[in-house]
């Protein structure tokens, strides 16, 4: 015998089915044996509601935790208009699509047994008995209807929660806590209103059947609309989650790219220090390598301090010419190793900027490294720093390499794969363009078969400070 845990106690499908069937059979037998003079649907209305239950029971609306069908509407209508036996017939018919596996409702429903479904089909008969009891005790019609619908709703929710708890090996309280939300309450309130209206319309006349049919059709259309909306919301949430994961991945790549540049430069200068016979050159190489490691440590410290990879820029007044000289110094070992000559043109010794120096150095290092990797031995790079127009700082990196392929020149900052031979993910230009935008600047590219020119343009220091200062 298969057993699962529900409400922290062992309970079997057979036991649950037997208890529920026994309770239902008792209600039906008592009603048949001792008629209370309560209402009866008759054959035609019973068949109509049974067919409606089979159709509406196959329509599932996804909620935050699980799904819900429209089966409650015809069952509650039967409970208001008919006897417990007739309500039971409607409930059984409504559960046939589920019990036969004609509707896929997720893992919980796929593992359900036919016995369990048929047992849950009888809660409407108990609600009908409650309605008969209210009529027998001369309750006002409105009060009797309210009590019946309340009993039907509580029975429906209790049975559904017990079944979900049985299948998921969880407690009923936990299931209710995770399931009952404003959407859940609104759905059951709508079921109560719709079943009350259906009971009012379904008076046995031809027009009553037509009006009830139109109500069920409108309910179906509304359910489909809700399901489509929920599906769209779910897709939007999945897209947002995917975008967050992509952004996280890009942040990881960006940080790793920065660390690769810094550690690569440090390794180059350490190699030069090891091979150098000149004490002064040896000390200078060690000093530059230490500076690279210091920047790498600062990057890691900033990321760990802020608790995220895409850290917030820290802007301060600086000198763009000084930053360019620092980057050229860091790149010099790599250039000498590759046999590439780098010339610098300082149009001004002081170019005031308001920047995050760590990010700007990273952007410039990416541009110079990109040029170095595009050149072979004997290549030439010219780095120019200065001010244009109305005090606009700029850095221009020109190389005499083969240039960019014509197919990617217009989208060079959106390519995530390198256009160079060898390893790499093409992140340098993307990172540099992102850094430029973070500083309210821009990164431009001009390329031909004779070489490429990348220009980093930044806003004047006073303008940047007004717009970027905290």
Tell me, what CATH number does 95's domain have?
Answer: 1.10.1760.20
The whole-number pLDDT of residue 460 equals 93
Question: Can you give the chain as a three-state secondary structure string?
Answer: CCEEEECCEEEEHHHHHHHHHHHHHHHHHHHHHCCCCCCCCCHHHHHHHHHHHHHHCCCEEECCCCEEECCHHHHHHHHHHCCHHHHHHHHHHHHHHHHCCCCCCCHHHHCCCHHHHHHHCCHHHHHHHHHHHHHHCCCCHHHHHHHHHHHHHHHHHHHHHHHHHHHHCCCHHHHHHHHCCHHHHHHHHHHHHHHHHHHHHCCCCHHHHHHHHHHHHHHHHHHHHHHHHHHHHHHHHHHHHHHHHHHHHHHHHHHHHHHHHHHHHHHHHHHHHHHCCCHHHHHHHHHHHHHHHHHHHHHHHHHHHHCCCCCCCCCEEEEHHHHHHHHHHHHHHHHHHHCCEEEEEECCCCCEEEECHHHHHHHHHHHHHHHHHHCCCCCEEEEEEEEECCCEEEEEEEECCCCCCHHHHHHHHHCCCCCCCCCCCCHHHHHHHHHHHHCCCEEEEEEECCEEEEEEECCCHHHHHHHHCC
Q: Is residue 322 part of a domain?
A: yes
Question: Whole-model pTM above 0.85?
Answer: no
Give yes or no for a contact between 80 and 196, defined as CB atoms under 8 angstroms apart: yes
Same domain, 326 and 195: no
310 in a structural domain: no
Q: How far is CA 334 from CA 269, 281, 314, 339, in A?
A: 9, 16, 29, 9
Which distant-in-sequence residues (6+ apart) come within 8 Å of 209 by Cβ? 48, 202
d(CA 267, CA 289): 7
Residue 362 lies in a domain: yes
Same domain, 322 and 192: no
Q: pLDDT tens digits, the chain, 470 residues: what are they? A: 333 333 333 345 455 555 555 655 655 555 555 444 556 777 888 889 888 888 887 777 776 656 778 888 898 888 888 888 888 888 888 777 666 654 444 444 444 455 556 566 677 888 888 888 887 777 888 888 888 888 888 888 887 777 667 666 777 788 788 777 777 788 888 888 998 999 899 888 888 889 989 998 888 888 777 777 777 877 888 887 777 676 666 666 667 777 777 787 778 778 777 776 666 767 777 877 887 788 788 777 766 665 555 567 889 999 999 899 888 888 888 888 889 999 999 888 899 999 988 889 888 988 998 888 888 788 899 999 999 888 899 999 999 988 887 766 666 766 554 545 434 435 678 888 888 998 999 999 888 888 889 999 999 999 999 988 77
Q: Please state the length of the chain.
A: 470
Range of the domain at 152: 3-204
End-of-domain residue from the set 204, 224, 252: 204
Q: Among 176, 204, 232, identify where a domain stops.
A: 204
Q: Which of 149, 143, 146, 106 is nearest to 127 (CA)?
A: 149
Domain annotation covers residue 279: no
Domain boundary among 175, 204, 233: 204
CB 309 within 8 A of CB 303: yes
Residue 242 covered by a domain: no
CATH number, domain of 325, equals 3.30.565.10
Count of the separate structural domains present in the chain = 2
**Do 43 and 191 reside in the same domain of the chain?**
yes
Looking at the domain assignment, is residue 227 inside a domain?
no
Distance of CA 73 to the CA centre of its chain: 33
Q: Does 154 fall in a domain?
A: yes
Identify whether residues 331 and 184 lie together within a single domain: no
Closest CA to 323 of 365, 262, 377, 290: 365
Q: For residues 299 and 258, what is the distance between their CA atoms, to the nearest angstrom?
A: 8
Alpha-carbon span 20 to 122, nearest angstrom: 8
Quick check: is 369 in a domain? yes
Cα separation, 381 vs 375, in Å, equals 9
pLDDT at 415: 55
Question: How far apart are alpha carbons 150 and 193 in whole angstroms?
Answer: 11
Provide the β-strand partners of residue 397.
Answer: 383, 454
- Tokens 């259906």 belong to 198
Residues in CB range of 147: below 8 A, 6 or more apart: 130, 131, 134, 139
Contacts of 346 (CB under 8 A, 6+ apart): 321, 324, 325, 385, 386
How many Cβ atoms from other residues are within 10 Å of residue 120's Cβ? Answer: 26
Residue 39, phi-psi category: left (phi > 0), alpha (psi -120 to 50), beta (remainder)? beta
Mark whether 155 and 22 lie in a shared domain: yes
């Amino acid at each position: 015998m298969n057993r699962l845990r529900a409400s922290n106690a062992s309970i079997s499908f057979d036991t649950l089915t037997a208890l529920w069937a026994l309770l239902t059979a008792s209600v039906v037998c008592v009603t048949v044996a001792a008629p209370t003079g309560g209402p009866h649907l008759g054959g035609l209305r019973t068949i109509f509601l049974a067919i409606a239950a089979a159709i509406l029971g196959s329509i599932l609306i996804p909620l935050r935790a699980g799904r819900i069908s429209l089966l409650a509407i015809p069952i509650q209508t039967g409970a208001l208009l008919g006897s417990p036996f007739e309500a039971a017939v409607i409930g059984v018919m409504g559960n046939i699509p589920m019990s036969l596996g004609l509707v896929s409702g997720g893992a919980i429903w796929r593992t359900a047994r036919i016995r369990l479904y048929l047992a849950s089909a009888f809660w409407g008969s108990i609600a009908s008995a409650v309605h008969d009891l209210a009529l027998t005790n001369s309750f006002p019609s409105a009060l009797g209807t309210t009590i019946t619908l309340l009993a039907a709703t509580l029975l429906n929710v209790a049975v559904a929660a017990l079944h979900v708890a049985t299948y998921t090996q969880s407690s009923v309280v936990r299931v209710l806590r995770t399931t009952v939300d404003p959407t859940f309450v609104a759905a059951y309130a709508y079921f109560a209103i719709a079943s009350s209206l259906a009971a009012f319309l379904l008076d046995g006349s031809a027009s009553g059947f037509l009006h009830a049919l139109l109500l069920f059709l409108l309910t179906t259309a509304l359910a489909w609309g809700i399901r489509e909306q929920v599906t769209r919301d779910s897709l939007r949430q999945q897209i947002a989650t995917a975008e967050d994961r992509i952004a996280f991945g890009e942040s990881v790549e960006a940080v790793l790219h920065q660390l690769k540049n810094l550690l690569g430069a440090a390794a180059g200068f350490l190699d030069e220090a090891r091979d150098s016979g000149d004490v002064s050159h040896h000390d200078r190489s060690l000093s530059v390598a230490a500076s690279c490691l210091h920047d790498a440590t600062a990057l890691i410290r900033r990321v760990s301090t802020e608790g995220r990879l895409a850290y917030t820029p820290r802007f301060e007044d600086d000198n763009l010419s000084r930053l360019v000289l620092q980057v050229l110094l860091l790149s010099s070992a790599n250039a000498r190793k590759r046999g590439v000559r780098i010339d610098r043109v300082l149009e001004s010794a002081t170019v005031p900027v308001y920047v995050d120096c760590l990010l700007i150095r990273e952007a410039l290092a990416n541009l110079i490294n990109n040029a170095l990797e595009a050149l072979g031995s004997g290549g030439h790079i010219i780095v120019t720093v200065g001010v244009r127009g109305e005090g606009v700082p700029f850095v221009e990196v020109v190389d005499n390499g083969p240039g960019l392929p014509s197919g990617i020149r217009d989208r060079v900052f959106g390519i995530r794969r390198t256009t160079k031979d060898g390893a790499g993910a093409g992140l340098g230009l993307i990172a540099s363009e992102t850094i430029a935008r973070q500083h309210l600047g821009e990164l431009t590219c001009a390329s031909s078969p004779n070489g490429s020119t990348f220009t980093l343009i930044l806003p004047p220091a006073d303008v940047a400070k007004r717009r970027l200062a905290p």
